[in-house]
């Protein structure tokens, strides 16, 4: 079974012209001396010729007309890159990085380094009272304002883009 | 209708406002798109509907085609996504390459065909029918390699796989096609020898 499979694979590579030079010499020799290889080669060559001579299927005669009729009612959308402003992406990235750095600074600032105890970082981190950070009214208010501002900005940005696009169309 | 312009030239014309130039692309690739969709949805009426949808989507998003790859490569992505969406909508099974059991459905389809084999089928019709009996993955790679005349490297790029993987997939697909022809078109295969 495996030999049969290898034989077919080598022969298909030979037919496709993707066989290596060294393997090609071996296959050529086998085709001259081995009847099984020769017979299989004949079979595969026939399948290959049939496939090469086959043609693509054709749709109905009205196909092209139907497509053109439908696209006459449409307009081409602007390229994705042109309406996704890189500055917006950088801005969002910067916002998140600032938030993360801010929380880290705040958290590390809570650690008492002067206690003199030899404690590992993992222990120090476990001492941080995250509930204080996240239940702090000011922090929550700050985050909410940021999120609302972000959404308002995003909405106005897309509204402007939509208007511009309608004008162009 | 041959426009004489290459794909990128036609696309530039369409993007600069000459929407009628798009007919050049439709005429050039309608058989390519229709054959690929037919291999996936297995029904001419559905395939025509999906193929139309493909060209409409391609038109709408033509500005996204940057010419970095061949137009057919970009078009194939739309063909594949649109066909899969269509099949999902119709709640048909999308057969995977490894699922051998799915051939049962195709084989049933074939039993009906065999009953009608009173008249001699042409070789080409036999090949087309046999390809139609393959699972969509096998049928796609054979169609791309032979009918759309893409090289092995291009076929691999279109399918988003390595060249070697495409080579193995093509070997398997051809082996299965040969088996299909030997099983279902005994007389025609005998006549070929």
Grouped pLDDT means (10 residues each) for chain B, 193 residues = 77 90 93 92 91 94 85 90 89 51 49 44 76 88 84 88 90 89 72 60
CATH of the domain at B173: 1.10.10.10
Nearest to A63 among B48, B56, B178 (CB): B48
> Do B111 and B184 have their domain in common?
yes
First to last CA, chain A: 63
pLDDT at A109: 76
Of B89, B118, B139, the last residue of a domain is B89
Range of the domain at B47: 7-89
Chain B residue nearest residue A55, CA to CA: B147
Residue A32: partners with Cβ closer than 8 Å, 6 or more residues away: A38
Could you write out the DSSP letters of every residue in A82-133? HHS-HHHHHHHHHHHHHHHHHHHHHHHHTS-GGG-----HHHHHHHS-HHHH
| Number of domains chain B contains | 2
* Residue A43 touches partner B, C-beta closer than 8 Å: yes
Q: Are residues A87 and A136 in the same domain?
A: yes
Q: pLDDT tens digits for A9-44?
A: 889 889 988 888 898 999 999 999 999 999 989 988
Structural domain containing residue A87: 80-168
Q: Check residue B31 and give its pLDDT.
A: 93
Domain boundary among B89, B114, B146: B89
Q: DSSP assignment, residue B122? A: P
Do B129 and B186 belong to one domain? Answer: yes
A76 touches chain B (CB under 8 A): yes
Interchain contact, B34 vs A74, CB within 8 Å: no
CATH of the domain at B24: 1.10.1740.10
Q: Is residue A71 part of a domain?
A: no
Contact B61 A67 (CB under 8 A): no
Give chain A's residues under pLDDT 70: 1-2, 5, 80-84, 115-136, 166-169
CA A59 vs CA B36, B87, B92: distances in Å: 11, 19, 22
Give the tens place of pLDDT for each residue, B115-146.
444 344 567 778 888 888 898 889 989 988 88
- What are B128's two structure tokens? 């087309």
Q: Indicate the length of chain B as a whole number.
A: 193
Please say which residue of B89, B121, B143 terminates a domain.
B89
Does residue A109 form part of some domain?
yes
**Whole-number pLDDT of residue B90:** 80
**Between A44, A71, A77, which is nearest B61 by CB?**
A77
Answer yes or no: are the C-beta atoms of B184 and B130 closer than 8 Å. Answer: yes
Residue A73 lies in a domain: no
What tokens were used for B187? 């007389």
Question: ipTM above 0.90?
Answer: no
- Residue A69 falls within a domain, yes or no? no
Q: Residue written as tokens 């390595």?
A: B162
């Amino acid at each position: 079974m495996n030999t049969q499979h290898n034989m077919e694979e080598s022969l298909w590579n030979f037919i496709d012209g993707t066989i290596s030079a060294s393997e090609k010499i071996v296959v050529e020799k086998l085709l001259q001396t081995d009847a099984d290889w020769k017979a299989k080669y004949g079979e595969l060559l026939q399948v290959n010729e049939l496939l090469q001579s086959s043609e693509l299927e054709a749709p109905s005669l009205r196909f092209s007309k139907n497509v053109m009729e439908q696209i006459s009612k449409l307009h081409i959308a602007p390229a994705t890159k042109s309406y996704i402003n890189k500055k917006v992406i950088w801005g969002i990235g910067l916002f998140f990085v600032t938030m993360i750095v801010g929380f880290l600074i705040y958290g590390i600032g809570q650690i008492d380094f002067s206690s003199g105890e030899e404690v590992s970082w993992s222990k120090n981190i476990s001492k941080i009272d995250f509930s204080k950070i996240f239940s702090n009214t000011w922090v929550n208010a700050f985050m909410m304002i940021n999120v609302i501002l972000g959404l308002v900005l995003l909405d106005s940005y897309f509204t402007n883009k939509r208007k511009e696009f309608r004008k162009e169309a | 209708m041959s426009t004489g312009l290459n794909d990128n030239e036609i696309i530039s014309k369409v993007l600069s406002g000459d929407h009628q130039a798009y007919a050049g692309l439709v005429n050039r690739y309608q058989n390519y798109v229709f054959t690929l969709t037919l291999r996936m949805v297995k029904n001419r009426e559905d395939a025509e509907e999906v193929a139309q949808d493909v060209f409409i989507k391609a038109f709408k998003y033509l500005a996204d085609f940057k010419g970095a790859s061949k137009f057919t490569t970009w078009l194939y992505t739309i063909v594949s996504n649109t066909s899969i969406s269509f099949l999902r909508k119709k709640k048909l099974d999308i057969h995977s390459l490894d699922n051998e059991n799915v051939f049962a459905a195709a084989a049933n389809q074939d039993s009906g065909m065999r009953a009608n084999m009173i008249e001699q089928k042409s070789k080409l019709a036999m090949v087309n029918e046999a390809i139609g009996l393959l699972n969509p993955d096998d049928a796609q790679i054979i169609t791309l390699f032979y009918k759309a005349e893409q090289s092995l490297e291009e076929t691999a790029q279109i399918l988003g796989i390595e060249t070697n993987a495409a080579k193995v997939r093509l070997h398997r697909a051809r082996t299965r096609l040969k088996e299909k022809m030997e099983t279902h078109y005994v007389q025609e295969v005998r006549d070929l020898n």
